[in-house]
């Protein structure tokens, strides 16, 4: 997943496809809805953005627009989608334009936008433009500010973008189900002035939680807290692409949260500042130094740092159950218990689950589950996974790597592979005399 | 609930009653305890506050005081209460002076206060004055700083209010039960200087969580996280009054949290600043722009904004399960499942619950539950409810509406009804050619 | 517990033992690993810190170092430990150097450190130096930046401490299990300049959550949220030592969180500022006044205040279930239910649990459980406990007392006993005429 080849191929393919479809779209009345069925990270929309760096949606992309007079027109289609969470596990979600999350909308402060929303779900929906200042009737709250958009219908929202910032879009109709099924997307409004807080790399994602019971495909949206799938842009480790950064770059990462709990997003190797929220830009006088940004639900945080230290830097939610796969929870604790005698009995009690004597000495031994021929339920990821340059990484869920390298070209996001540590800069084994073993 | 008539009637009635009882109270030794059995939003205590705008407790009111020399005397009675959560559901809680939460205490920086606390609960209690700087012996921690107040006893607390701010009161005795049963209230200390951060409208509420199992009346206080009732001032949508605001007003909303989790309170249509906590006022240099204020447990946040955009603006917790009624959780997920064959079998397995084939195409269809003659258990609200000007609002729990209008008089909080959107400012249905349908 | 004698004895004993062992350690190749098997609060390492006040680890201590050329060498041993949570309950955890959490590492900005880590666990491990800026290969992420440290092996980490601050160490290997079993510690880097934000008292602890099922000894690390043991430095009330402070002292308390949820740490009697995080020091312009510091997971917060008001000030997590012992959760709610008839039947249904008719009038009556001869399961603390000067304190878990006194000597942390309130400064019982009863 973090391999060089897969990532580069994805970028090339997606860029080509996007351009073709976008020009087709010029000929259709509502704009042909650009679809993003594959979970690759697309190249930024630099061409439409007048050559500015643009925004990189992790394992997604931005939605091209077309001009209609002085209005930028976008076309979103709410619909059921299939999303590969990571190789080996696919969820049947609801999203926009073939994907969950939907494509990112990018525009500029002062733009007038018109967004067509076509409902191809089995039930009514709306879209709320979270954080954007607009007339009450464009706010997208079903029943309160507009009628619901019925299946088959298309609605138009139009408003002027009064300020730059980091926003989201999501339904304000049957919210527990529709957000719980993956309906969400980012809405980036770039400042009119290119000199306002410029960065070299601008990444982002929105967080979701799903309970996809082992062996099933559809999230159980009645679950309130005990989710087994903690996702960034509806992907989980090792399915989340790395954030590739050139040494010395100014980096912004924009993170939204539409789960049911705070996520403290921890970056190794750096301290950073939170420079913006979905309410606007944070004044320098108000910024705190942090290594974990606690992202509240229904909020966005932009973190910024200068990438002055090369390496492979872990980047993850710091809640330990959120960097695990679905098979880790609710398993009986066996630390210190001799298990051989118990196995047969337990297998009889739980005939629908595989059972192996595990965790007698911690859970790291479970890495070898596959090697022992013990398969998890169909479509379900193991508790810990991911192969690194020094062996298993033992993670899952909300985890990826920020890869800082000196030999990356501006605008290149190709995975550079694993970091080659300079001699003498890696933790080392010592003998009883404290010398390198 | 958000209807014009019910709200206006409530205000009139309550104001009259308050004045009558307050003058009776002058004649009693401890002050006749003013009681607030009805869930109306009372008019501010402007007369006792020397004509200042005063504080508006959502679905509650402030406790009148009497002067005894240079001391302001208040009288709180801890007692069991019945609280209507919303029409159709009443909980048997513990509170103060006939209500949960108890009435708001309002005073001024520099005031000397004496607060009588009479215990009419079946067990001992105390009151802790959360955030207020006072002598250790007035801090109200049962066992540590004072003896418990036994049933039938009255205690007095007295101290000088050293600083202005937004505080709370609640027991510090058998806390899990007593706070879990609804014992809490707000304590507003106004600044001595009326020019210090003045506002035109000053609202507030404190958040509680209850597990009132379907078909029952008393919260289960042993529940730690999986609550089904997420309340503002022990009310849930559609039982929470709207916040009525005059266009152009400077608005403050003070929010306290005595639940078991953070609540990100999201306001549509505006960005705002957090200007104060229960620790004091936040310096402008330290304020962040926000659209969702993440209120920690055991904390208060004041948000402020200038109401320059008319409309009906949703105002709610952004955790999707917190804007739902009790019937939404733990229901089996049926999205994509053809249910007719399964209904009979499930009904046999769950004889104590009504069962209807629901959620096959999402949960919005459940709005029609009543129309199909399927009643929820007695005293239990449905998952989603509330009727707006464009149809069902599909919410519950921690949700209400901020109503900003140009034609509201200063000091008038009467519900103005639904917003009439100017022509061309509502999302609109389009045909296949992108034209208004 | 909070008694004067036990605490003073602990300090004396521990200080003596530490010095003896530290000088022994000079003769061993890796440094003899100093062990901290007893849960006493140790005196600060003032001698090694050149006479500066030093850091006080609640119910723990700091790890002495030895110089090897210009390098400070420390030796951590990862190993199973037995930790007394509070008198009457001991957990079998994993930790470092005989304790959970491991000993605090203290050093100075600019120091070069070498830390030997010996693995005596049954499975592999690593250490991540949370918040510290260092080369990627010293970051301690098993599989990603280094090979796992296998059982029996010793690894060395070495790096220069680029900045002062409040950091942590913990495994980045099989995290759910290893952090869930108690593997964590604090890492304090003092500023080079002694005039930078000096304080008179510098306390700290790290928070953990465990599920030690009633009657058992080993935490169940598969639990995600519903923990029954909420601990500060793997201690629970009344096992947590008080924070002893001299009136007028500038006090810093550093708090880390490695649980699965935010903890709002509430201090009575004072408002304070958050002056630092694990990302660095917070500028005064950005600081907020607070009475509850909401500590995110995977983060540290330093709070600071001037102790100008004498007293016994409660200091605790404000989530009510987090200041309770293990027996409080999941017990059926009996408020208002006459129980005598039900007892026999319930006892038959739950033969493995003691059952008593409880909570008919709230839970405070359960204080008397022991008096009625009802014993909780072996090794399990009751729901509420702790005896204060005015009777039972009714707390558990994350609770202790900050004791501010005028007659405490600099550098003395001996428990001064309970506060003697000056006359007329304690809440008082009144009669029907409002006079002191």
Q: Contact C141/A314, CB-based, under 8 Å?
A: yes
C338 and B CB contact within 8 Å: no
Q: Residue C321: its chain B contacts at CB < 8 A? A: 176, 224, 260
Residues A114 and B399: beta-carbon distance below 8 Å: no
B154 and C CB contact within 8 Å: yes
Token reading at B148: 């418990």
**pLDDT digit of tens for each residue in chain A (437 aa)?**
333 333 333 333 333 334 334 334 434 678 778 999 999 999 999 889 988 889 999 999 999 999 999 999 999 999 999 999 999 999 999 999 999 999 999 999 999 999 999 999 999 999 999 999 999 999 999 999 999 999 999 999 999 999 999 999 999 999 999 999 999 999 999 999 999 999 999 999 999 999 999 889 999 999 999 999 999 999 999 999 999 999 999 999 999 999 999 999 999 999 999 999 999 999 999 999 999 999 999 999 999 999 999 999 999 999 999 999 887 655 555 676 655 555 544 444 444 433 444 567 777 766 555 445 556 788 989 888 889 999 999 999 999 999 999 999 999 999 999 999 999 999 999 998 889 98
% residues pLDDT > 90 (chain C): 75
Chain B residue nearest residue C288, CA to CA: B282
- Residue A217, classified by CB atoms within 10 Å of its CB into exposed (0-12), middle (13-18) or buried (19+), is middle
How does residue C55 score in pLDDT terms, banded at 50, 70 and 90?
A: very high
Q: Contact B133/C324, CB-based, under 8 Å?
A: no
Where do the domains of chain C lie? 4-193, 328-375
Determine the Cα–Cα distance for residues A307 and A202; give it in Å rounded to an integer.
Answer: 13
Q: Contact C298/A312, CB-based, under 8 Å?
A: no
Distance from the C376 Cα atom to the nearest Cα atom in chain A, whole angstroms = 22
Q: Is the pLDDT of residue C219 over 90?
A: yes
Instruction: Give the lowest-confidence range in A400-404, C176-180, C198-202, C346-350.
Output: C346-350
The reported pTM is: 0.91
Kindly compute the dihedral angle of the four CA atoms of residues A286, A289, A295, A298, in this order, to the nearest 10 degrees. 10
Determine the Cα–Cα distance for residues C281 and C279; give it in Å rounded to an integer.
Answer: 7
Q: Residue C285: its chain B contacts at CB < 8 A? A: 283, 285-286
Total beta-carbon pairs less than 8 A apart between chain A and chain C: 219
Token reading at B366: 């459940």
CATH number of A4-193: 2.60.40.420
C413-435: per-residue pLDDT in tens?
Answer: 999 999 999 999 999 999 988 89
Q: Contact B299/C288, CB-based, under 8 Å?
A: no
Determine the Cα–Cα distance for residues B274 and B295; give it in Å rounded to an integer.
Answer: 10
Token reading at A343: 């196995």
B171 and C CB contact within 8 Å: no
Distance from the B259 Cα atom to the nearest Cα atom in chain C, whole angstroms = 7
C114 and B CB contact within 8 Å: no
B397 and A CB contact within 8 Å: no
Secondary structure letter of residue C124 according to DSSP? -
B297 and C CB contact within 8 Å: yes
Q: Contact B154/C429, CB-based, under 8 Å?
A: yes
**Reduced 3-state DSSP string for chain A:** CCCHHHHHHHHHHHHHHHHHHHHHHCCCCCCCCCCCCCCCCCCCCCCCCCCCCCCEECCCCECCCEEECCEEEEEEEEEEEEEEEECCEEEEEEEECCECCCCEEEEECCCEEEEEEEECCCCCECCEEECCCCCHHHCCCECCCECCECCCCEEEEEEECCCCEEEEEECCCCHHHHHHCCCCEEEEEECCCCCCCCCCEEEEEEEEEECCCCCCCCCCCCCCCCCCEEEECCECECCCCCEEEECCCEEEEEEEECCCCCEEEEECCCCEEEEEECCEECCHHHCCEECEEEECCCEEEEEEEECCCCEEEEEEECCHHHHCCHHHCCCCCCCCCCCHHHHHHHHHHCCCCCCCCCCECECHHHHHCHHHCCCCCCCCCCCCEEEECCEEEEECECEEEEEEECCCCCCCCCCCCCCCCCCCCCCEEECCCCCEC
Q: Residue A384: its chain C contacts at CB < 8 A? A: 174
Q: What pLDDT, on the 0 to 100 scale, is given for residue A31? A: 78
Chain A residue nearest residue C28, CA to CA: A433
Chain C residue nearest residue A289, CA to CA: C279
Kindly compute the dihedral angle of the four CA atoms of residues C323, C329, C333, C334, in this order, to the nearest 10 degrees. -70
Coil, helix or strand at residue C138: helix
Q: Residue C324: its chain B contacts at CB < 8 A? A: 176
Distance from the B149 Cα atom to the nearest Cα atom in chain C, whole angstroms = 8
Beta-strand ranges (E) seen in B263-417 are: 263-267, 272-277, 280-281, 289-290, 292-295, 299-306, 311-317, 385-388, 391-395, 399-405
Determine the Cα–Cα distance for residues C26 and C19; give it in Å rounded to an integer.
Answer: 11
Q: Which residues share a beta bridge with B244?
A: B403
C16 and A CB contact within 8 Å: no
Q: Is the pLDDT of residue B397 over 80?
A: yes
Helix (H) or strand (E) holding B66: strand B66-68
Q: Contact C142/A421, CB-based, under 8 Å?
A: no
A296 and B CB contact within 8 Å: yes
Instruction: Give the lowest-confidence range in A127-131, B357-361, C253-257, C358-362.
Output: B357-361
């Amino acid at each position: 997943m973090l391999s060089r080849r897969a990532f580069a191929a994805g970028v090339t393919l997606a860029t080509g496809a996007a351009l073709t479809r976008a020009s087709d779209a010029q000929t259709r009345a509502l704009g042909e809805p650009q679809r993003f069925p594959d979970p690759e990270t697309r190249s930024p929309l630099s061409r439409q953005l007048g050559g500015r760096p643009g925004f990189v949606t992790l394992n997604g992309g931005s939605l091209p627009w077309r001009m209609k007079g002085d209005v930028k027109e976008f076309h979103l289609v709410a619909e059921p989608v299939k999303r590969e969470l990571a190789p080996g596990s696919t969820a049947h979600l609801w999203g926009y334009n073939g994907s969950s999350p939907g494509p990112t909308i990018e525009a500029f402060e002062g733009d007038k936008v018109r967004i067509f929303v076509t409902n191809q779900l089995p039930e009514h929906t709306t879209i709320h433009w979270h954080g954007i200042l607009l007339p009450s009737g464009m706010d997208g709250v079903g029943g309160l500010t507009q009628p619901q958009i019925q299946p088959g219908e298309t609605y138009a929202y139009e408003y002027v973008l009064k300020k730059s910032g980091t926003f989201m879009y999501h339904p304000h109709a049957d919210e527990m189900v529709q957000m719980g099924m993956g309906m969400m997307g980012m809405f980036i409004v770039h400042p009119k002035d290119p000199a306002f807080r410029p960065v070299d790399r601008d990444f982002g994602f929105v967080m979701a939680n799903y309970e996809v019971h082992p062996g099933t495909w559809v999230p159980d949206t009645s679950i309130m807290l005990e989710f087994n799938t903690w996702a960034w842009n509806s992907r989980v480790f090792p399915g989340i692409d790395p954030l590739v950064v050139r040494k010395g770059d100014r980096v912004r990462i924009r993170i939204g949260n539409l789960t049911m709990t705070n996520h403290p997003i921890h970056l190794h190797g750096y301290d950073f500042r939170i420079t913006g929220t979905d309410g606007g830009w944070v004044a320098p006088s108000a910024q705190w130094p942090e290594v974990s940004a606690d992202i509240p639900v229904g909020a966005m945080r932009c973190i910024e740092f200068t990438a002055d230290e090369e390496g492979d830097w872990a980047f993850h939610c710091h809640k330990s159950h959120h960097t695990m796969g679905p098979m880790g929870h609710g398993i009986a604790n066996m630390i210190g218990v001799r298990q051989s005698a118990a196995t047969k009995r337990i297998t009889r009690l739980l005939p629908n689950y595989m059972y192996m004597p595990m965790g007698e000495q911690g859970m790291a031994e479970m890495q070898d589950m596959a090697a022992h021929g013990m398969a998890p339920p169909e479509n379900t990821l193991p508790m810990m996974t991911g192969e690194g340059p020094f062996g298993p990484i033992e993670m899952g869920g909300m985890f990826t790597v920020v890869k800082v390298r000196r030999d990356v070209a501006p605008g290149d996001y190709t995975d550079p592979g694993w970091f080659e540590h300079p001699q003498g800069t890696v933790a080392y084994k010592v003998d009883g005399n404290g010398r390198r073993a």
